[in-house]
Amino acid sequence: MLKITDAAWARLSELQSTRPDIKVVRLVHDGGRVKCHRGIQRAQDHVIDGSPVLLMAPAVVRQLSGRTLDAPETKRGARLRLQQISR
Strands of the chain, DSSP E = 3-4, 24-30, 33-38, 46-48, 53-56, 67-70, 73-74, 77-78, 81-84
DSSP 66-81: TEEEE--EETTEE--E
What domains, with CATH codes, occur in the chain? Answer: 3-84 (2.60.300.12)
Q: How confident is the model at residue 87 (pLDDT cuts 50, 70, 90)?
A: low
pLDDT, position 51: 73
Name the strand (E) or helix (H) holding 23: none
The pLDDT assigned to 86 comes to 57
pLDDT for the residue numbered 84: 66
Read off the pTM. 0.79
Structure confidence by residue, pLDDT tens digits, 20-66: 777 888 888 887 778 888 888 899 999 988 777 889 999 999 988 88
